[in-house]
């Protein structure tokens, strides 16, 4: 029986096929591995931490964003990741990214593959499943957030004593580095720069922005500009309000007022407090000089423009918090984020799980032979109302198939012409009905329904066979 280390070695040998790596990919890189004694010793001294202390930057300027873009294109993402972290203090950007990331990881999950592997992932431990224990929702949400905004995210599969599967931990992307001359990623850890091999059983590199330069497809250049402009507009508006919150006080002296009288009135104006009362001599007048109150509008317009730009970049549409048809008030992922964007990130996250997380679970739990046919995951990004319409369409299509066959049979009976069979393959393809293996009658309906429960999508072939039997039609094979 292969040891866990032997199973991981077999997994690493399958990496090129799993990830579709180019034949031009480089070797192991330069530096210690994640499990080297040097790295393990330093991590143990720091309580297990792998990431260095992150840097907090409070004030941002457009020049900083330009520098971050230049550095990122050179493979240094320190500034880019810092500004992505700073954006989380903006309500609009943080709210939209949280809605997108949390919505993606909470989409309905469909598992395919061997029944043994699928059942193991679905096995529940209290209120959680094995998959939830291995891929915590919080860590998955942060990685999806990084992927959406920065274009990539980095995580580690950490072994857990007493378990035969690891736990996914998201790492701070500030310390990612890409070396163009090697075509390889590195993580600038507390011990040393460590070469990253995605999917080797320890590293998880989530890059929905693409394989080559994924940061270029991230939203951070657009959201970063909106964030910086909005921050400055908010500060200017606050400064404007602070200066004009208290109106200026003025005293109008009559002609012939002496300087001592003016000085005395000025001292009383300076001492003007709450409920101050003036006894004014004949001809004197006291007034408040207030702003016209419209100067703030230029700052508010800048804030509104920044919110709109950030929403368009993340959600693909304008999102508000008021009574608009779409917005935060709905609390609906499909109302806030455009459907194709949801589908894109759902497919990207599922691809990362299927190539870099689940193969290790299958290898550690069932052996290296299970990597090929072990469980994979699909996130269902269809809207609930679309699913209802699709189900209705399938029912209509099924009834239509039966009625068409009845018509053919009646025509054959009345005319004596040869009986024609409905081309089920053509109709299934035209209506987009998912089917599994064909049923030839060897299995009972109960056996087929049991198999349909453990695998997705529903076995349409079994349903079709049952309909044929119930309505008195002869079961025909797909080749008939």
Give per-residue pLDDT as tens, 297-325: 788 888 889 999 988 888 887 765 554 44
Confidence of residue 329 (pLDDT cuts 50, 70, 90): very low
Report the domain count for the chain: 3
| Residues 411 and 424 placed together within one structural domain of the fold | yes
Q: What is the pLDDT of residue 21?
A: 56
Rounded Cα gap, residues 101 and 208, in angstroms: 13
Q: From the CB of residue 333, how many other CB atoms can be counted at a distance below 10 Å?
A: 18
CB 74 within 8 Å of CB 420: no
Task: Say whether both 18 and 138 belong to one domain.
Answer: yes
- 436-459 tens-digit pLDDT: 554 444 444 344 333 333 333 334
Residues 265, 251: contact at Cβ < 8 Å? Answer: yes
Instruction: Indicate whether 147 and 255 sit together in one domain.
Output: no
Backbone angles phi, psi at 383, to 5 degrees: -70, 145
| Residue 26: per-residue pLDDT | 55
Q: How far apart are CA 447 and CA 440, in angstroms?
A: 13
Most confident by average pLDDT, 74-83, 295-304, 341-350: 74-83
Residue at 339 is within a domain: yes
The answer to whether residue 475 is domain-embedded is no
Q: Nearest CA to 361 among 8, 35, 6?
A: 8
Does residue 258 sit in the same domain as residue 138?
A: no
Tokens in use for 441?
Answer: 């009658």
Distance CA 335, CA 333 (A): 5
> What sign results for the dihedral spanned by CA atoms 372, 375, 377, 378?
positive
In this structure, are 176 and 47 located in the same domain? Answer: yes
Domain end residue (candidates: 238, 272, 289): 289
Structural domain containing residue 278: 248-289
d(CA 62, CA 169): 32
Last residue of a domain, one of 234, 267, 289: 289
- Name the more confident of 203 and 469: 203
pLDDT at 475 over 70: no
Q: Are residue 351 and residue 254 in the same domain, yes or no?
A: no
Residue 388 or residue 453, greater confidence: 388
Last residue in a domain, options 345, 379, 413: 379
pLDDT at residue 415 above 50?
Answer: yes
Whether residue 450 sits in one domain with residue 401: yes
The DSSP code for 183 is: T
Same domain, 12 and 105: yes
**441 falls within a domain:** yes
Q: Six-digit token pair at 151? A: 């274009």
Q: Is residue 101 part of a domain?
A: yes
Q: What is the mean pLDDT of residues 367-382?
A: 82
Q: How far apart are CA 461 and CA 452, in angstroms?
A: 10
Whether 23 is in a domain gets the answer: yes
Query: What sections of 88-199 are H helices per DSSP?
Result: 91-105, 115-122, 130-134, 137-149
Query: Are residues 16 and 161 both part of a single domain?
Result: yes
Output the pTM of the full model.
Answer: 0.70
Q: For residue 233, tell me if it sits in a domain.
A: no
Residue 314 domain-assigned (yes or no): no
Whether residues 13 and 146 share a domain: the answer is yes
Residues 208 and 348 both lie in one domain: yes
The verdict on residue 231 lying in a domain is no
Residue-wise pLDDT for 201-222, tens only, equals 899 999 998 888 999 999 999 9
Which of 242-246, 351-355, 367-371 is least confident? 242-246
- Report helix, strand or coil for 318: coil
The span from the CA of 300 to the CA of 298, in Å, is 6
If asked whether residues 388 and 370 sit together in one domain, one would say no
E strands, 12-146, in order: 109-112, 124-125, 128-129
């Amino acid at each position: 029986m292969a040891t866990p280390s032997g199973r991981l070695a077999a997994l690493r040998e399958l990496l090129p096929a799993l990830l579709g790596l180019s034949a031009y990919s480089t070797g192991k890189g330069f530096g210690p591995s994640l499990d080297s004694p040097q790295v393990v010793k330093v991590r143990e001294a720091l309580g297990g931490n792998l990431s260095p202390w992150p840097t907090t930057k409070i004030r941002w300027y457009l020049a900083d964003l330009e520098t971050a873009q230049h550095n990122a294109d050179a493979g240094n993402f320190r500034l880019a990741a810092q500004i992505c972290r700073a954006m989380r203090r903006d309500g609009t950007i943080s709210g939209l990214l949280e809605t997108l990331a949390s919505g993606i990881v909470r989409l309905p999950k469909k598992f395919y593959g061997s029944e043994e592997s699928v059942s193991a992932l679905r096995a529940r431990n209290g209120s959680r499943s094995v998959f939830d224990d291995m891929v915590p929702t919080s860590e998955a949400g942060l990685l999806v957030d990084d992927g959406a905004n920065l274009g990539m995210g980095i995580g580690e599969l950490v072994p857990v004593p007493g378990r035969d599967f690891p736990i996914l931990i998201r790492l701070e992307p500030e310390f990612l580095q890409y070396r163009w001359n090697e075509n390889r990623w590195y993580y600038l850890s507390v011990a040393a720069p460590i070469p990253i091999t995605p999917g080797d059983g320890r590293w998880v590199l989530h890059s929905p922005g693409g394989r080559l330069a994924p940061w270029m497809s991230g939203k951070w250049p657009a959201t970063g500009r909106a964030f910086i402009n909005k921050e400055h507009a908010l500060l200017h508006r606050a400064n404007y309000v602070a200066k004009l919150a208290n109106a200026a006080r003025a005293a109008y002296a009559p002609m012939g007022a002496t300087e001592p009288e003016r000085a005395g009135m000025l001292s009383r104006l300076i001492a003007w407090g709450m409920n101050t009362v003036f006894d004014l001599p004949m001809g004197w007048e006291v007034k408040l000089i207030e702003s016209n109150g419209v100067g703030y509008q230029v700052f508010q317009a800048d804030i509104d423009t920044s919110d709109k730009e950030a929403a368009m970049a993340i959600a693909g549409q304008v999102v508000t918090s008021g009574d608009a048809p779409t917005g935060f008030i709905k609390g609906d992922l499909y109302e806030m984020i455009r459907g194709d964007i949801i589908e894109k990130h759902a497919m990207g996250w599922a691809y990362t799980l299927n190539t870099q997380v689940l193969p290790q679970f299958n290898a550690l739990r069932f052996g290296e032979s299970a990597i090929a046919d072990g469980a994979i995951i699909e996130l269902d990004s269809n809207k609930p109302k679309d699913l209802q319409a699709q189900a209705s369409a399938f029912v209509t299509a099924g009834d239509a198939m039966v009625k068409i066959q009845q018509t053919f049979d009646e025509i054959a009976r009345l005319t004596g012409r040869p009986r024609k069979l409905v081309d089920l393959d053509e109709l299934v393809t035209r209506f987009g009905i998912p089917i599994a293996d064909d049923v030839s009658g060897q299995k009972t309906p109960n056996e087929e329904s049991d198999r349909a429960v453990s695998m997705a999508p529903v076995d349409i072939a079994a349903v079709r066979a049952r309909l044929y039997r119930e309505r008195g039609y002869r079961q025909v094979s797909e080749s008939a």
